[in-house]
Amino acid sequence: MFWLAWAAAAGPFQSEHPLTGRRIAPVMGAGGADWLERGERESEEHPDEALEAIGIKPGMVVADVGAGTGYMTLRLARRVGPSGKVYANDIQPEMLRMLRQNAARAGWKSIETVLGTESDPKLPSGALDLILLVDVYHEFSQPQKMLEKMRADLKPDGRLVLLEYRKEDPSIPIRPEHKMSVGEARTELEAEGFHLHQVLEILPRQHILIFTKAAAQ
């Protein structure tokens, strides 16, 4: 199965990453929202197993960047509980509208939606224990600027976690520009002040890539 719908990103767009030559994918539009909520996603991605492995705990302050309709946001809210906070970021107002509807139906009041831009997620500076990007980083048209902002938004011991379809496995039925290798992620993020702390290969199709802030040089 392939991604279903796309919306061209507004503003400056890099067609490829200057360090890795990776082709930057277009952003999924709201027309593809049904794909985000597809029934097969549970078996294909094991979302709760992923969050358990990452270590989402009650009371944490986390952000779901590129949250879409809130598929992962609602799971984060359940895990951080009423004492925690989830910032649900997206650059598409229609996605956030659907997310708010889903959150209201689920009864989660710890979720705050945030309309970001392609260069700034608009998250609170220095406040986050963890930022989660699920099949999102490869769509950033300005990845360097986004990483700079997100690094500043994390607490000193905060973590940036990417879930990305494994480019190393050609059998995974996702278009190549929507996959990433561990090497690509390491090269691109470590150039922007992160350190690849851990790689978890427990999911059927995705890498879990856990980054921390690199020590200042």
pLDDT digits (tens, 9 = 90+) for 99-126: 999 999 999 999 999 999 999 999 999 9
Crossing angle between the packed helical segments 93-106 and 71-80, to the nearest 10 degrees: 40
Give pTM, 2 decimals: 0.92
The whole-number average pLDDT for the span 60-79 is: 98
Q: Report d(CA 20, CA 14) in Å as an integer.
A: 13
Q: Where are the domains of the chain?
A: 30-213
Handedness of CA 8, 9, 14, 20 (dihedral sign): negative
The predicted-structure confidence for 16-59, as pLDDT tens digits, reads as follows: 999 999 999 998 888 777 878 888 999 999 999 999 999 999 99
- CATH code that applies to domain 30-213: 3.40.50.150
